[in-house]
Amino acid sequence: DPDLTSAAAAANNSRAPPPSAAGQMAPNLGCNYLYMAPAMMVVPLFVISIINTFVAGPPLETLVFDAQNAVSLAYMQTKVEDSRVAIAISPRAAMSHYFVFTCYVPEQWKAPADKPVPLSAAVKAWNGGAREASGEALLGSASHAGDASSEKREYGLQLLQPLAGFEHYEIDVRAGAPGTPAKLPRMEFRLTYVPPRFTRTQTAVRIFFCTVTLLLAGAFCVAGARLEGAGDPLQPWIALILLLLLGVNDPLYGYRVARLGSEQLEAGSTVVQIVFSAALFLFWLVMADGMQRASAKTCCGFYLPKAALVGAYAASACALFVKHGRLPDRLEVSSFASDDVVTTSLVAVLIVCLSLICVWLAFLVLRVTYHLGWKQVEYIYTDREKSFIGMTLVFISLWSCGLVYRALHGQRGSWLMLQLPFLALSNSYLVLLVNAFWPGVESSISASIAANTADDVGEAERAGGRASHKDRQGLLDDDDDEDE
């Protein structure tokens, strides 16, 4: 109805503040997340960056030695023979997470007359003082044939071994084919590991994040239990995301480090991170799409497509982790075998699901932000919805900047260095989200909307038009639709 639209616009303009000298609407500089979200997310990132630089130190350290001279350190000893080098490692109080062993021939040591010999390396581990009593386990191996079939590969070996709960490890490097040993060529060895100083800082920061998350989740649940009547249907979802955030902060991180690694706990932590991201994706899609729908949201038409897409993402990510495993540092797509049909299919499904989620979410957010620029329809969004859009855009932008930085400038250890900034960003965003969806806040917002609606209806009717309170409602619950 054109008359109704013009009357409602006139009523809305009558209560608007006077325009500024530039002819634009004076901005609302109150406590709004559109202004506060960037500062409340950037400041924790700045603090964490200082901690990473001046407290944690470098995420990786490298020990360099050669194959001809024996080395004896508190946590590593080497035994040199003619065709074999045994490297014994005791990681307790010296390293954590994983170590990377590399052997190669430097350019200055290479000679045209040298003929590469076959190389092999195996990682064995055991607990206790004597390996014969406790038994040893073979954890990994690598080999280089040293012939024409391997000439495209650089001559050398590399083994990446996550700590698996053992007290002692041994890297056995041999030259020659099985049963026919050969003289070990002059080679350089490198042992890269995560130092204890970096791990202690990670443990302390994660304990702080876990404590804050527990207190916040407890206060949020208590406030929801004390609330009279039905609360916002999205509040249980916020509580679930808070519990998943606790898992992302990894409260068992210190225990896993103390017991020298645990494959089961590491796998559980990774699965929780995948589920957390899936829950966040689903919440964003539901919230952003619900801002445009005032009618009742059906299960098949509204929730099911989003749940199916996000579920496919979570299932493919978990299956890929179980099938391929996760490297402790960087995971290159080129590391997947081209003839592995299952792994390639899982990667394709994961990429397609992530792309569809990003495109769908970008469309919903752009549609919402486009409407936010029009003063005439700005009333259809509540302060909570505007805050959600503002802080979510800031969160996604900062997260994307971190991923771009890692892709362009990342080196080995960069993911370890970025873990705390990503954790700080996630925790800051969830604190803002919980504050915006705090139980009981929506009642005051609804009362304010109802009061403004009544004023607008009365003014519109006095202006000669007919108005209904449905014309000014924002994101409504199903109960509100039924009551009307």
**pTM to 2 decimals?**
0.78
Tokens of 170: 């041994």
DSSP string, 169-195: EEEEEEEEETTEE-PPP--EEEEEEE-
- CA count, 13 A, side-chain hemisphere, 79: 8
| Strand ranges across the sheet with 188-194 | 61-66, 188-194, 96-104, 156-162
Query: Cβ distance 402 to 444 under 8 Å?
Result: no
Mean pLDDT of the chain: 78
| 77/54 Cα distance (integer angstroms) | 31
Query: How far is 159 from 87, CA to CA, in rounded Å?
Result: 13
- For residue range 405-431, list pLDDT tens digits in order: 877 776 666 778 888 999 999 999 999
483 forms beta bridges with none
Q: Per-residue DSSP letters for 445-471?
A: HHHHHHHHHHHHHHHHHHTT----GGG
Beta partners for residue 77, in sequence order? 72, 88
- Mean pLDDT calculated for residue range 19-31: 37
Is the pLDDT score of 482 beyond 70?
no
Give me the mean pLDDT over the 435-454 stretch: 60
DSSP code string of 375-390: GGGGGGS-HHHHHHHH
- The string over 90-124, giving b where at least 16 C-beta atoms fall within 10 Å of a residue's C-beta and e elsewhere, is bbeebbbbbbbbbbebeeeeeeeeeebbbbbbbbb
Q: Give the pLDDT score at 236.
A: 87
**CA gap 230, 440 in Å, rounded:** 10
CA distance 193 to 90: 12
According to DSSP, residue 153 is labeled S
Q: CA 41 to CA 113: how far, in whole Å?
A: 60
Report residue 62's pLDDT band, with 50, 70 and 90 as the boundaries.
very high
**Amino acid (one-letter) located at 1:** D
DSSP 467: -
The whole-number average pLDDT for the span 366-390 is 68
Mean pLDDT calculated for residue range 93-115: 84
Q: Which two tokens stand for residue 128?
A: 């206790």
Instruction: Please give the class, per CATH, of domain 31-57+197-439.
Output: mainly alpha
The CATH number of 61-194 is 2.60.120.380
C-alpha 481/C-alpha 440 separation (Å) is 20
How many CA within 13 A on the CB side of residue 160? 11
272 DSSP assignment = H
Give the residue extent of every domain in the chain: 31-57+197-439, 61-194
The pLDDT assigned to 411 comes to 63
Q: Are strands 188-194 and 156-162 parallel, antiparallel or unpaired?
A: unpaired
For residues 270 and 255, what is the distance between their CA atoms, to the nearest angstrom?
A: 16
